[in-house]
Amino acid sequence: MSVYRNAGTIFFLSALIPAETLISRLIGRSDPRPHPSLLLSVVCWLLMYSPSPDLSSPGNIEVINGFLQIPARTHSMQAMSAPDGRLLDAAIGDALRAMFCYRQARFMEGWGEGARAAALAWAAGLGKLGGVGERFTSGSEGRGERVELEMRLRSLVYKGQVVEPARGAAEHGRRIEIL
């Protein structure tokens, strides 16, 4: 954890889950405890910044990562199938594993991890947060720009799919019947 606290160069990691937050959740100051999928994914990134030459060598990182990714994926899938309140932790873990795979030029594996992270984020309700409570605020200035931005962002949601979205209700119905 001292590596995580001192590794200021991993900006995206501290943006996803700050070191102080993770440490306080680990020692039990705040609930809930971090999801195992998140912890296993954080370890993969921290190995690169370890002061130990044995842990920070690229070959050893690859071997250790191979052992840690299987249980991390298993825990992530269990979070999807069981009602676990730490679903957002599992989504962050999947995103970290995706970025780690991209860094190591394992693009198809990274794409799969990224897709799972997006699915978990939507399952956690993050896709529904736009405009929550907006009708309770006093002003609605800038709503047109926000709606326009959200429509552009929603068009990006479909870019990660292998199959393009259905063109109509009939095609959508046929796809549901296939599943």
Cα angle value 149/151/154 (rounded, 5°): 110
The pLDDT assigned to 132 comes to 53
Q: How far is CA 7 from the centre of its chain?
A: 20
What pLDDT is stored for residue 9 in this prediction? 60
Per-residue pLDDT of the chain (179 residues; tens, 9 = 90+): 666 666 566 666 777 777 777 888 888 776 788 888 888 888 888 888 788 888 888 888 888 888 888 888 888 878 777 766 677 788 888 888 888 888 888 889 888 888 888 887 777 766 665 555 555 555 566 767 767 776 776 666 555 454 566 677 777 676 666 54
Burial 29-64 (b: 16+ CB within 10 A, else e): eeeeebbbbbbbbbbbbbbbbeeeeeeeeeeebeee
The pLDDT assigned to 103 comes to 84
Q: Which two tokens stand for residue 112?
A: 């799969």
Three-class SS state of 90:
helix
The confidence score (pLDDT) of residue 72 equals 86
Residue 25 backbone class (left: φ over 0; alpha: ψ -120 to 50; beta: rest): alpha
* Residue 87 structure tokens: 């679903």
* pTM of the complete model: 0.63
pLDDT for the residue numbered 179: 47
